[in-house]
Amino acid sequence: MKRVYVNEEWCLGCHLCEYNCAFANSGETDMVKALKGKPIFPRIRVEGENLIHFAVSCRHCQDPICVNSCISGALSVKDGRVCIDHTRCVGCLTCMLVCPYGALSKGPEGAVQKCELCLENACGEPACVKGCPNRAIVYEER
Amino acid sequence: MKQYVIIGNGVAATGCVEGIRSADPEGKITVISGENRPVYCRPLISYYLEGKATPEKMNYRNPDFAEKMHCAYLYGKQAVQLDAKTVVLDDGTVLPYDEVCIAAGSVPFVPPFAGLDTVEKQFSFMTMDDALALDAAVNKDSRVLIVGAGLIGLKCAEGLHGRVASITVCDLADRVLSSILDTRSAAVMRQHLEENGIHLLLGDTVSRFEKNVASMRSGTEVEFDVLVLAVGVKANTALARQAGAEVNRGILVNEKMETTVPGIFAAGDCTEGMDASLGQRRVLAILPNAYLQGRCAGINMAGGNAVHDRAIPMNSLGLLGLHAMTAGTAFSEADGGSMVEEKSEAGWKRFFLKDGYLTGFMLLGDVDRAGIYTALIREKTPLDSIDFAALKKSPTLAAMPKENRRKKLGGVV
């Protein structure tokens, strides 16, 4: 299965992936309207300071502990992808307590959000990868 | 064709079904369900009271689960006898088995309170039936008394908050959530609950009930309309004892979920397995453990080779807007432990260290990315291999060695 991988040697730390992610998942068609002056809720996060930078998003683990731990049945695996049903999530945050990557976060409505590889939104392919200026984030089979 | 019997139909039993089917697509699986409904998300019953979860959204698996797993469910039945070859049900049915898993969970523990039988509206808070009954019994004028300020009692209080006239919670312990929070952390949660109108009577218990009045040991009298008993739970161990398996507070299991009797497995809240953070066996009645133990048991019952050896206590719970997360073990100084505290505007973190490892933590308010901390406990990462000073402020993979990161972010995990 294709996944998002990062190469920290090439990451500039520009945080564009975070903006592209938040925009792709906002449901808006205009980036300025979606993001300007608002708190943004990206599902990818650029870490590090000074010389080292890299982006972290859901690894879509083969045996995801978040899914195994979910108390509400909101998290599930669909064709290898870890997906969340926002209508079932009660915001208990157990998934955030168990994910070793810190890849899940509280969304704007209280339910948890996570990377679903942009297959649930209008983008259709990972927006973080598409917008990465230095190809530090890639979407491929490994 | 192998015959499997699973006693119980909660999360551990569901994990067991999935574990068996991952290794044996053919064998006959029979699940004995005491409750008269398909497996549901038990921890959601407080969200049901609160109106945040509906029964339709509380099913733990899709409606076609039984069919997909081709698995027979016997609803409303109890296993009453277990020997080396058969399980006997309360209706006299005898089920022969090759492999059996006891996933019978736990039941509320009710101490013998004087005068309890004079209380008309009294409830436990463990099952969907309990939640439905409590839901029907309360109204906006109800004064509710909850005995027990643990996870169950306080989630029940949250579920009823705003729906009733008053909520009083008492506990014999001198703090709230005494099983997962230390004195200082519990004091923060206590203040938050009291600010939100929950009346707490701690270090106090009911000495006598007389109809709608509870006389407390302290001399206080509490008038109430509805009583919820959430003192604690005890593991369902009767069948395991009967079958000759060793039992302490729960059914003793090894890392393969085998009991001390060959062919009899056990999983979930009824068991006592190894706590990797404590280095000793204890009952870990939490949902993730139930699923993982159940699945491990299922795989091994079907002849596979699974091990579940990283279990630690983990709890994440929000109460009226303040979120608490805890994991692992807080060793006291007498046991060689030490504590590091980190305060910020976002919240309060307490880390418990021993012998150069993180063994536990308690977070209040600031819970983002807490799983990075949990992984340090579960994976037993030596703290001298990472930048813990940076990490305790903010959980980040940047504090990990580069090679470790390359493997985790650059490969399939």
Over 80: is that where the pLDDT of A51 sits? Answer: no
- CB-defined contacts A:B, below 8 A: 126
Beta carbons within 8 Å of B326's beta carbon, 6+ residues apart: B180, B181, B313, B314, B315, B360, B361, B362, B363
- Residue B279, classed as helix, strand or coil, is coil
Secondary structure class of B171 (helix, strand, coil): strand
ipTM passes above 0.95: yes
- Chain A hits for B316, CB-CB cut-off 8 Å, are 92-94, 96-97
The pLDDT value recorded for residue B409 is: 86
CA distance B406 to B395: 17
> What pLDDT is attached to residue B36?
96
Residues of chain B contacting A65 with CB distance shorter than 8 Å:
288
Q: Report residue B403's pLDDT band, with 50, 70 and 90 as the boundaries.
A: confident
Q: Does B314 map to a domain?
A: no
* Chain A CB within 8 Å of residue B316 CB: yes
Question: How sure is the predictor about B371, in pLDDT bands with cuts at 50, 70 and 90?
Answer: very high
Mutate which of A5, A85, A96 to disrupt the B interface (most B C-beta within 10 Å)? A96
Q: Does residue B268 sit in the same domain as residue B283?
A: yes
Instruction: Indicate yes or no: CB of B314 within 8 angstroms of CB of A69.
Output: yes
Same domain for B336 and B227: no
Does B53 contact A at CB distance below 8 Å? yes
Per the domain annotation, does B184 fall within a domain?
Answer: yes
- Surface of A (28-67) touching B: CB under 8 A: 47-49, 52, 54, 56, 59, 61-62, 65
B316 lies in a domain? no
- Structural domain contains residue B318: no
The residues in B 55-94 lying below 8 A from A, measured between CB atoms, are 57-61
| pLDDT(B19) > 80 | yes
Question: Between residues 2 and 21 of chain A, which touch chain B (CB distance below 8 Å)?
Answer: 3, 5-8
Q: Using CB atoms within 10 A of its CB, is residue B160 exposed (0-12), middle (13-18) or buried (19+)?
A: buried
Q: Are residue B199 and residue B340 in the same domain, yes or no? A: no
The tens digit of pLDDT for each residue in B93-147 reads 999 999 999 999 999 999 999 999 999 999 999 999 999 999 999 999 999 999 9
The CATH code of the domain that includes B91 is 3.50.50.60
Q: How far apart are CA B246 and CA B272, in angstroms?
A: 10
Same domain assignment for residues B92 and B113: no
Asked whether residue B82 falls in the same domain as residue B141, the answer is: no
B247-297 confidence digits (pLDDT tens) = 999 999 999 999 999 999 999 999 999 999 999 999 999 999 999 999 999
Give the pLDDT score at B66.
97
DSSP B269: T
Digit-coded pLDDT (tens) for A108-138: 988 999 999 999 998 999 999 999 999 999 9
- Each residue of B171-204: pLDDT tens digit? 999 999 999 999 999 999 999 999 999 999 999 9
Which domains, from first to last, does chain A contain? 1-57+118-142 (3.30.70.20), 60-114 (3.30.70.20)
CB of B323 less than 8 A from some CB of A: yes
pLDDT tens across B39-74, in order? 999 999 999 999 999 999 999 999 999 999 999 999
Residues B205/B176, Cβ–Cβ less than 8 Å: no
The better pLDDT of the pair B37, B412 is held by B37
Contact flag B397-A3 (C-beta cutoff 8 Å)? no
State whether B67 and B26 are in the same domain.
Answer: yes
Percent of residues, chain A, with pLDDT higher than 90? 89
Q: Which pLDDT score is estimated for B322?
A: 97
Q: What is the pLDDT of residues B318-369, one digit of tens each?
A: 999 999 999 999 999 999 999 999 999 999 999 999 999 999 999 999 999 9
User: What is the strand order of the sheet B221-223 is part of?
Assistant: B206-210, B213-216, B221-223
Looking at residues B15-30, what average pLDDT do you find? 98
Instruction: Kindly state whether A76 is in contact with chain B, defined as any CB-CB distance less than 8 angstroms.
Output: no
Query: Does residue B80 form part of some domain?
Result: yes
Answer yes or no: do B128 and B198 share one domain: yes
Report the chain B residue with the minimal C-alpha distance to residue A110.
Answer: B321
Q: At what angle do helices B287-301 and B11-23 cross, to 10 degrees?
A: 30
Query: Is residue B306 one of the residues assigned to a domain?
Result: no
Cα–Cα distances in angstroms (integers) from residue B27 to residues A87, B24, B65, B69, in the given order: 35, 6, 16, 10
If one counts the domains in chain B, the total is: 3
- Going from the C-alpha of A32 to that of each of A21, A41, A132, B1, B136, the distances in angstroms are 14, 15, 18, 63, 49
Reading the block at residue A31, the tokens are: 């980036």
C-alpha B403 chain-centroid distance: 36
Mutation test of the interface with chain B: which of A58, A70, A98, choosing the one with the most B Cβ atoms within 10 A? A98
Give yes or no: residues B289 and B333 share one domain.
Answer: no
pLDDT category at A106 given cuts 50, 70, 90 is very high
User: Cα distance from A20 to chain B (closest Cα, Å)?
Assistant: 20
Domain-embedded: residue B191 = yes
> Do the chains contact at B411 and A105, CB–CB below 8 Å?
no
What tokens were used for B43? 């921890």
The string over A48-82, giving b where at least 16 C-beta atoms fall within 10 Å of a residue's C-beta and e elsewhere, is beeeebbbbbbbbbeebbbbbbbbbbbbbeeeebb
Over range A66-76, report the average pLDDT.
97
Domain extent, residue B266, equals 3-45+57-105+236-301
Contacts of residue A29, Cβ cutoff 8 Å, sequence gap at least 6: none
CB-based contact (8 Å) between B393 and chain A? Answer: no
User: What is the predicted pLDDT for the residue at B413?
Assistant: 84
Residue B52 belongs to a domain? no
Same domain as B352, residue B286? no
The tokens describing B9, both together, are: 């139909």
Check whether residue B330 and residue B288 sit in a common domain.
Answer: no
Mark which of B180, B207, B233 sits at the end of a domain.
B233
Q: Report strand pairing: B71-75 vs B199-202.
A: unpaired
Q: What are B406's two structure tokens?
A: 């390359």
pLDDT of residue B90: 97
Q: What is the CA radius of gyration of chain B?
A: 23
pLDDT above 80 (res A50): no
Domain boundary among B203, B233, B263: B233
Dihedral in degrees, nearest 10, Cα atoms B387, B388, B389, B395: 100
Query: What is the C-alpha separation between B335 and B115, in angstroms, rounded?
Result: 42
B179 lies in the same domain as B214? yes
Whether residue B153 is found in the same domain as residue B125: yes
Last residue of a domain, one of B247, B271, B301: B301
Q: Is the pLDDT higher at B165 or at A51?
A: B165
